[in-house]
Amino acid sequence: MNGAFMELLSNPTDRPRNGSVVSIRDFGPERTIKMVEDIVAGNDTLPQSPGSLVATLFLNRSLRTRLGVAKACAVLGASHIDLEPNRIYSPIISGPGEPYKQEAMEDIVRVINLNADCLAVRAYGPSSSVSVGAGDAVFERMLRSVTVPVINLETDSGHPIQAMADVATVVEHCGTARGRKVVMAWAHSPEPKPIAVPASFVMAASAAGAHLVIAAPSEFSLPASLTRAARDWAGKAGGSLTETSDLGQALDNADILYMKSWMSWEQKGRGHQEIAGVYHHWMASEELFHRATPKAGYLHCLPADRGLEVTDDLLDGERSLIWRQVEMRRRVTQQLLANALRL
């Protein structure tokens, strides 16, 4: 992977501090868990922002996030405009661009600065306009020009809103995340997916003091820089982090299984389908939960590849917490937008 792919996973640089939300790493462990606990307890006060305008730019498909932002704006009394790339002069990601179809990204951002009060962006690869690993670089490039608060709605390596919503779901279901055994496991899918969700969840769950187990085939291990940082956070919060390629053993006495696909970090010349195809049996199912605690819950950020990542009976069953995750994500989005708009 190129160097830009590591930027949001590395040590935080000089980020905007004006209510912007770039990564869980920028939040820090104390602020992360404080927000999670406030969301679960219902202490998320929402000051109204009439007259404010939130602009969103999605360079990838979106359902839950797009609707969640729109709903959050409605609750806050703010206006919302979705800058659909095919309805504006879409940003030039690389090269000279197409005349009268594309515009320099810096020029687009400056127009947003003059009209909007907050910018929320989703950019990760692979997509029609962003190559694998380039989403972090696109986001960082926007940060250099933006003056209004900017919120990361997912890049290649980070999805902070999803992570806080996921840990809030764990806290609500288990009473606390501290001391609970939480498994973040890879699942099979023929399509490459960014590591944003597991990368951010690992940090957030560590901040909450969970005993976290990352279960994945060796080819799908998460970056060492990430696991080192998460292990440090976990130690300070009274938790722990271990890694294994034995999925069954990972589920022993687990309280939570979060199982979804992500791309191989080191492909070594092989395509994703070739690598992942060997592990098609890595699928979340009720059978796996025979080794977990009786009330163990299942998480997935959605959309889920039914019959590949997870069986229908588990996704639609009583263990599934997926709809609570959707609700929590909306509440986290509302709080983060409220914070950004009142500054």
Per-residue pLDDT tens over the stretch 298-308:
999 999 999 99
- The span from the CA of 114 to the CA of 183, in Å, is 44
Which one is predicted more confidently, 129 or 79? 79
Residue 225 CB contacts under 8 Å (≥ 6 apart), including other chains? 6, 9, 10
Q: Report the chain's mean pLDDT, rounded to a whole number.
A: 91
Q: Can you say whether the dihedral through the CA atoms of 51, 52, 53, 54 is positive or negative? A: negative
The CATH number of 160-326 is which of 2.40.40.20, 3.30.750.24, 3.40.50.1370, 3.40.50.150?
A: 3.40.50.1370
Say if 3-158+329-341 and 160-326 have the same CATH topology: yes
Mean pLDDT for 45-62 is 93
b/e code 249-274 from CB counts within 10 Å (16+ = b): ebbeebbbbbbbbbbbbeeeeeebee
Judged by average pLDDT, the poorest of 13-17, 63-67, 113-117, 215-219 is: 13-17
**Secondary structure element (H or E) that encloses residue 32, with its range:** helix 29-41
What's residue 150's pLDDT?
Answer: 95
Give the fold, CATH level 3, of 3-158+329-341. Answer: Rossmann fold (3.40.50)
What's residue 266's pLDDT?
Answer: 64
Mean pLDDT for 197-216 is 97
Residue 58 falls in which region: left (phi positive, over 0), alpha (psi -120 to 50) or beta: beta
Residue 52 tokens read as 């404010």
3-state SS of the chain: helix, strand, coil percent to 5? 40, 15, 45
Digit-coded pLDDT (tens) for 4-18: 444 454 555 455 567
Digit-coded pLDDT (tens) for 139-185: 989 999 999 999 999 999 999 999 999 999 999 999 999 999 999 99
Examine the pLDDT at 252 and tell me if it is beyond 70: yes
What's residue 9's pLDDT?
Answer: 45
| pTM assigned to the model | 0.94
pLDDT band at 267 (very low <50, low <70, confident <90, very high): low
**What are the residue ranges spanned by the domains of the chain?**
3-158+329-341, 160-326
The burial class, CB within 10 Å (0-12 / 13-18 / 19+), for 230 is buried
- The helix/strand/coil state of 267 is coil
Digit-coded pLDDT (tens) for 87-135: 999 898 888 888 999 999 999 999 999 999 999 999 998 887 888 778 8
Percent of the chain's residues with pLDDT above 90: 78
Percent of the chain's residues with pLDDT above 70: 93
Residue from 121, 122, 116 nearest 148 by CA: 116
